[in-house]
Structure 1
Amino acid sequence: MIIHGDNLLALKALEQDYAGKVKCIYIDPPYNTGQAFEHYDDGLEHSLWLSLIKARLELLKGLLTDDGVVFVQIDDNEVHYLKILLDEIFGRQNFLNQVSVKMKQTSGASGGGEDKKLKKNIEYILIYTKNKYSFIKFNEVLEEENLFDLIEDMRQNGKSWKYTRVLTSYGEKKFLKEIKDGSGEPIRIYVHTDVVMKPIRELMKTENLTEEECYIKYYSSIFRDTNAQSSIRTRVMEATENEGDFFSIEYVPKSGKSKGKMTTLYYKGNNRDLIAWLSDVCVKKGNRLVKLEKLGTYWDGFPLNNLTKEGGVKFPKGKKPELLLKKILDLATDEGDIVLDSFLGSGSTAAVAHKMNRKYIGIELGEHAKTHVVTRLKNVIDNNDTAGISKTINWQGGGGFKFYTLAPSLLRKDKFDNWIIEPSYDADLLASALAKQGAFTYHPDSELFWKQGYSTENDFIFTTTQFITVELIDRIHEEMGEDESLLVCAKTFQDACLSRYDNITLKKIPKVLLGKCEFAKDDYSLNITETEEVESDDE
């Protein structure tokens, strides 16, 4: 769902249907630097900027599920003020992390207009959950780094890369003895003879392989040894003294990633150094080896130089990398969860959510809601978007989205200062808006004209601009069930209608609306008008 209009008003309009249903919110509000896109009044005084952000954050909090998470990206101009504001709204106890994100390159001599200061290349993401007692944990997301880039980087920095040997033969394995761990569980020890270990460099020469080819070929057999202390290693050392120089054990760990699973470990040399496998710290992906690390609070590696090409729409300032949004959605959501971005910009969040099979709500004030966001999502649906995360997740196109525009205020004052219904509202739109204001679901019945919406199985609403007569009320009452009730909203009606039936309540328009919210301006008294629905040509 994409909504074109002011995000404060749109968020208020979403409350009835989406309160407590959004799993993840990402917002990238104007940074108050005087350089945001033209549709936002950037460069405001701190207090005014914070007031505008506060009003939106309060509404966003209400839309989150109890275990939902909000990510707010900002630069150092307002991050400290924003942190205090978020503490106030979400509660300091619900703060999860502050992430530093590399968003600019610092290469070259140019100071980028910051000659008196260090060149800025970092932005920040403040992360809060709605309720820390409901929030369990983030999904596990592992950082990937090309193994050979890592090795080269270590060499250039004078560091030693340890995984440089290959166990080409485990030799002859023979059961030696069984001992007990600290809990009394068995540890079976085997001794190996005629074990063959060779350096990577030797195999490269004898087999005429490049270093990368050798690592890929022997990926599962490459190791380093470590003298990391453990109670298991101590027991193995004591039990195998003078028994050989290469051993394996089989046991079931009580903790760690192999908890509850039969596990084999290998020890070598007089010190019984533990053999650590390369395959435990990196994975093989086709012809690549990538090192995996748990995600921390410094994020980089995004394709910043090609960012303007993502999505097939030009957006020179403020566009966020799809890989950044993917990382956020991987952390905080699963397929089918609702994601919301109320400062949608060029549509990056919506595009990524669509590709990752998340439901999404995007709100954008400017005309680029139509010129950029709609264009970008159509490219995604038609599989014409091959940039961003498309290749990473093997995106093949498909799906659809709905586009809404905020309707004008339902009521306005005429030249005599009287409240009147906004003329642009036709009968159907008026009925839909009144149903929404009364917490009814707008769903016109195909047979009974007066059943325009419902709040419960037996409670209905009927809105009309026509004069209501006793005869019409009698006719409606004859069609009603004994346990049904009806709210009638009309411009005028006969006085006798008011008390004619206990299960029919009549209220006048616009009086029924006054006091609900502020009128006479384009605000959240709105209905939202569907203007376009886009689906894949295949559906």
Structure 2
Amino acid sequence: MPTLHWLTRDEDVRAAEKTPTRLLEEAPELGYGDRDAGNLLIQGDNLEALKALLPYYAGQVKCIYIDPPFNTGQAFEHYDDNLEHSIWLGMIVPRIQMLHDLLASSGTIAVHLDDEELGYFVVIMDEIFGRSNRINIVTFTQGAAVGHKSINPGLVTVINYIIIYAKDKSNWTPYRVFTARDRDKRYSSFIKNVDEPYEQWALIPLSKAFADSANMKVNEHKKVFGDNYEAALNEFVIENSYRIVQPVSPDYKNVGQETRKIIDQSLAEPNRIFLQKRENHSDIYLQKGKRWLFYKDKLKKIDGQLIAGEPLTNLWNDLRSNNLHNEGQVKFPKGKKPEALVKRVFDLFSKPGDLVLDSFLGSGTTAAVAQKMGRRYIGIELGNHAVTHCVPRLQKVIDGEQGGISKAQNWHGGGGFRFYRLGPPVFMGNGAILPDIRFPVLAAHVWFAETGIPWTQPARLTPFLGVHEGHGYALLYNGILREKSTNGGNVLTRRSLATIRRAQGEFMGPLTVYGERTILSQATLTAEAVVFKQTPYEVKVNP
């Protein structure tokens, strides 16, 4: 498979590994609402923040949406968006590596870019995620050739792209999404007596049925309704979709024998209506060899409204980025994306209760949308506008703000989030563990380093951390045994091993124990199927 090379590639692909694992320190005064809702807002460098999340959230995120700097020279207040190509690649590669690790096996990542780095980025994504896991590249129409754009020479750029990959396509399933479409005017026949037995049904033109409903003549109702005619007709069609049909000729060669037989009968008896009842499928009505398609089967519930819909394609030209200045009630010039766009991504690749993540949170759009859609979320933002933009925006959302997608989601407020900043590294420069690191913090790190999955902290802490793939893990650290004697505490002794054995319950498999030292002989360790690892020297600084 092709790979992309640039001057600092070797250093950049190892940047994630070299990034220190930092603590996340809560700033309670910046949290809001229900702090136990499972939502996190983190201020700090997103590479370090992603590394800090790994011991707790690796493989847990269902959907990632990021809108990184486009590298187009659009210098604006909150991002350096004028980076040389190799620097941009060096920035994005380790972050994509981290995001890959955080994504669930059934998860999806959607990355929003323009064409400046698109070609390079697709090669990078193919390398990290695998080309077989590429789902699609969506074209998003973000504006029109109006205003200052209309005076530019040559082609006017009005599109961006959303590059979509699965973590593991064999374990991946999207959700079906529909978009609104214009009324299909081919459905122009109306069953005037639908309440009678189907054998007696009679068709009249839709235009006549609509005129009759308003007590008008066909040739006058357009004049009466004027500019509102099409809207009024659409409303009538939706209300009567169960009796509006389009007769079509079935593909005779590709239908079953029973359907062919009924088609032949309907041709032989053209004035009769035939019915073929089917289990788990719509019934088939035929007359004169033609099947009646009902308009009701074209209707979909989109954003709470029953309207004509069609399956979503990879051309999204119905969501515009203009007039976004007041969405979310925060200003973010040239960087804000419409809530409807993020909603569409989450509709496709997540469901309520799923965990979503945005590591380039910007003005907080992704978190706001996740809050309104009932998703749990993690948002990461470097600058001070994590406080000046994201926090107040989310506070307003929790209080019931009605902009963006609120009406479509029937949003009335609720929920909450915790706010965190990056703290000191878990490990100091010499590899030693930072003093005063709490047991659950190091336990989560040790567990993740050994297993590659997050550690679930139990209600009652013991030195036994758990079992993964038939192997047990334990940690003697920070007085977990509440013993300060020479032969207890953080030292592996027969007594502390017995405590671990009691905590491990019925598990009798091999065991790895982390501690300051052990007084047990190698023969004893071998007999007990125990591997001892010394803290801090054998704790992996970079899992």
2:89 to 50, 69, 88: 50
Q: Deviations over 1:56-105 (max 9, x none)?
A: 11111112222211111100111111111111111111111110011123
Indicate the residue corresponding to 2:343 in structure 1.
Answer: 326
CA distance in 2, matches of 1:350, 1:410: 28
Partner of 1:267: 287
Distance 1:488 1:347 in 2: 42
Amino acid at match of 1:128: Y
Structure 1 234/82 Cα, relative in aligned 2: closer, same or farther at 3 Å? same
Q: Name the CA shift for 1:476/1:94 in 2 (closer, same or farther; >3 Å).
A: closer
Structure 1 residue 471: Cα displacement: 7.6
Q: Secondary structure at the match of 2:334?
A: coil
Structure 1 residues 432 and 280, CA gap change in structure 2 (3 angstroms): closer
Closer, same or farther in 2 for the Cα pair 1:407/1:167, shift >3 Å?
same
Q: 1:11 to 1:244 in 2, by over 3 A?
A: same
Map 1:47-86 → 2, pairs under 5 A: 47-86=86-125
Task: Provide the secondary structure at the position in 2 that maps to 1:370.
Answer: helix
Q: SS state of the match for residue 111, structure 1?
A: helix
RMSD: 3.8
Q: Offset of 1:172 from its aligned partner?
A: 7.0
- Residues 294-341 of structure 1 deviation map (CA, whole Å, 9 limit, x = unaligned): 010001222533322222221112211111111111111122221111
Q: Does 1:459 align with 2:495?
A: no
Where 2:477 maps in the other structure, the secondary structure is strand
2:402 to 352, 374, 386: 386
User: Does structure 2 retain, via aligned residues, the 8 Å contact 1:25–1:341?
Assistant: yes
Of residues 74, 80, 96, the one that matches 1:35 is 74
Q: Is the aligned partner of 1:162 residue 2:186? A: yes
Match of 1:516 in 2: 541
**Displacement of 1:3 after TM fit?**
1.6
- Structure 2 match to 1:376: 393
Cα distance in 2 between the residues matched to 1:67 and 1:445: 28
> Contact 1:284–1:290 at 8 Å: present in 2 too?
yes
- CA drift at 1:223: 2.4
1:319-468 equivalent positions in 2, closer than 5 A: 319-383=336-400, 385-410=401-426, 427=436, 429=437, 433-439=441-447, 454=465, 459-463=474-478
Determine if the alignment matches structure 1 residue 87 to structure 2 residue 149: no
Output the CA distance in 1 between the equivalents of 2:337 and 2:407. 18
Question: TM-score scaled by structure 1?
Answer: 0.73
Greater helix fraction, Structure 1 or Structure 2 = 2
Q: Equivalent residue for 2:242?
A: 220
The alignment of Structure 1 onto Structure 2 pairs a total of residues equal to 454
Residue 129 of structure 1 pairs with residue 145 of structure 2: no
Q: Does 1:11 align with 2:69?
A: no
Q: Which amino acid aligns with 1:267?
A: Q
Percent identical residues: 35
CA deviations over 1:370-417 (Å, ceiling 9, x no partner): 22112122112121x10111110101211121221111334556xxxx
Please give the per-residue CA displacement for 1:131-153, whole angstroms capped at 9, x wherever unaligned: 22222x31111112364xxx7xx
The normalised TM-score by structure 2 is 0.72
Q: Distance in 1 between matches of 2:191 and 2:459?
A: 75
Tell me what 2:179 maps to.
143
Q: Which residue of 2 aligns with 1:249?
A: 275
Say if 1:16 and 1:471 are closer, same or farther in 2 by CA, change over 3 A.
closer
Secondary structure at the aligned position of 1:163 is classed as coil
In the other structure, the counterpart of 2:61 is 22
User: Any conservation in 1 of the 2:342–2:369 contact (CA below 8 Å)?
Assistant: yes
Cα distance in 1 for residues equivalent to 2:303 and 2:424 = 55
Q: How does 1:130-209 map to 2 (within 5 A)?
A: 130-135=167-172, 137-145=173-181, 147=183, 161-169=185-193, 192=200, 195-201=202-208, 203-204=210-211, 207-208=215-216
2:274 partner SS: strand
Matched, 1:238 2:275: no
Q: CA deviation at 1:461?
A: 3.0
User: 1:422-473: CA deviations, max 9, x gaps?
Assistant: 7xx6x3x465554444338697999x9xx68946688333238xxx763875
Letter in 1 for 2:417: F
State the distance in 2 between where 1:506 and 1:277 align: 70
Are residues 143 and 470 of structure 1, via their aligned partners in 2, closer, same or farther at CA, if it must alter by over 3 Å?
A: same
Q: How far apart, CA to CA, are the structure 2 residues paired with 1:53 and 1:99?
A: 20
Matched, 1:103 2:142: yes
Q: Structure 1 residue 22: deviation in Å?
A: 1.4
Select which of 302, 308, 311 maps to 1:294: 311
Match of 1:304 among 316, 321, 325: 321
Alpha-carbon separation, structure 1, partners of 2:180 and 2:96: 33
Secondary structure of the residue aligned to 1:166 is strand
Look up the SS of the partner of 2:171 in the other structure.
coil
> Compared with structure 1, are the counterparts of its residues 445 and 386 closer, same or farther at alpha carbon in structure 2 (3 Å cutoff)?
closer
Q: CA contact under 8 A between 1:7 and 1:343: conserved in structure 2?
A: yes
Q: SS at 1:335's partner residue? A: coil
1:52 corresponds to which letter in structure 2? M
Structure 2: any 5+ residue segments left out of the alignment?
Answer: 1-39, 449-454, 502-512
| Higher RCO (CA < 8 A, seq sep 6+) | 2
C-alpha change, 1:498 and 1:237, in structure 2 (3 Å) is closer
Is residue 434–residue 463 contact of structure 1 (8 Å, CA) maintained in 2?
no
Per-residue CA distance 1:117-162 (angstroms, 9 max, x = gap) = 3121101011111222222x31111112364xxx7xxxxxxxxx32
1:236 positional shift: 3.2
How far off is 1:477 after superposition? Answer: 7.1
Give the structure 1 partner of residue 452 of structure 2. Answer: none
Q: Of Structure 1 and Structure 2, which has the larger fraction of its residues in strand?
A: 1
Q: 1:499 aligns with which of 519, 532, 537?
A: 519
Kindly name which structure, 1 or 2, has the bigger radius of gyration based on alpha carbons.
Answer: 1
